[in-house]
Amino acid sequence: MNHALQHEAEALGATLPPLLVEADRLAASVSLGVHGRRRTGTGESFWQFRRYRNEDAVTAIDWRQSARSQHLFVREREWEAAQTVWLWRDGGPNMDFASGKNGVAKKARAELLLLALASLLVRGGERVGYWGSGDPAAASRLSLSRIARRLMQAKKVESEPPPAPVLRGAQLVWFGDFLDPATEAAMTRLSRAGIEGHLVRIVDPAEEEFPYHGRTRFEMSRQESEIFGRAEKLQAAYRARFRAHGEMIASAASRLGWSATVHRTDHAPQAALIALYAAIGGM
């Protein structure tokens, strides 16, 4: 291993565990009562014995179990139809925003929820992967590590999921603030490709409440900023516009048959994770 690669591996190893541990703890806090989709069907895992019925094939009889009683029994196997869930988070500069001294950045909260959801899905036997990474989806701890690695190594600033070869019927969970005007077009493109989507809109409390007063400078980007003498005069109009934007995103998702949830970074993440897991069909 060359020195550059070794340094990168050590840096990655030093950073990933806390994020994975926190995500696992969050998943564990809501995992009671959560199970994989177990039902009768084709597969290799034994589920249960049941009494033989006339419509059953003779070859389905478990003779060893039947010999222990006066009845014939059939060995049922678990239905192995784990769904594939792809995860992706917006890496745009808007996601770095955090209000207040102890505020949580939108990107940090998105990554925590993304990994916690991945952990919860793996616990339920579902396959997970990071959208556009090239890594295969899998129901294993290895997949969680791959996803965490992709989050840490992502260098391209993308505000919408990149093109990726995915089978129809797969599910995509998209974490972001959806402030980019191209969001709806991207959703439509993915929907036409046969993707079932779930939007998780991450909102900072200041973005929703606009708690600014007096002379305030707003930076839209590193190159663009504007100063307002009395920011409080903008509050009512801003709140109305922000609310309308959220309703537009939710309406666009609904038209495509997608789900959409909202999570504020000043709220505990457990409720958002439970709602998201239920939307995917895990409950």
Please indicate, yes or no, whether residues 239 and 127 belong to a single structural domain of this protein. yes
Please indicate, yes or no, whether residues 20 and 63 belong to a single structural domain of this protein. no
Please indicate, yes or no, whether residues 104 and 220 belong to a single structural domain of this protein. yes
pLDDT in tens, 103-156: 899 999 999 999 999 998 988 888 899 998 888 898 888 888 899 888 887 656
Q: Residue 176: CB partners within 8 Å, gap ≥ 6?
A: 89, 90, 92, 95, 110, 159, 183, 199, 200, 201, 202
Any domain includes 203: yes
Please indicate, yes or no, whether residues 195 and 221 belong to a single structural domain of this protein. yes
Lowest mean pLDDT among 91-95, 110-114, 149-153, 258-262: 149-153
Band of pLDDT at residue 203, cut at 50, 70 and 90: very high
Tell me how many domains the chain contains. 2
Please indicate, yes or no, whether residues 171 and 259 belong to a single structural domain of this protein. yes
Please indicate, yes or no, whether residues 102 and 215 belong to a single structural domain of this protein. yes
Measured CA distances, 182 to 112, 162, 186, 226, 235 (Å): 25, 13, 6, 24, 26
Which H or E element spans position 115?
Answer: helix 106-123
Please indicate, yes or no, whether residues 89 and 110 belong to a single structural domain of this protein. yes
Please indicate, yes or no, whether residues 213 and 262 belong to a single structural domain of this protein. yes
Please indicate, yes or no, whether residues 22 and 68 belong to a single structural domain of this protein. no
Please indicate, yes or no, whether residues 210 and 95 belong to a single structural domain of this protein. yes
Domain carrying residue 71: 46-77
Please indicate, yes or no, whether residues 267 and 204 belong to a single structural domain of this protein. yes
Any domain includes 40: no
pTM for the full predicted model: 0.75
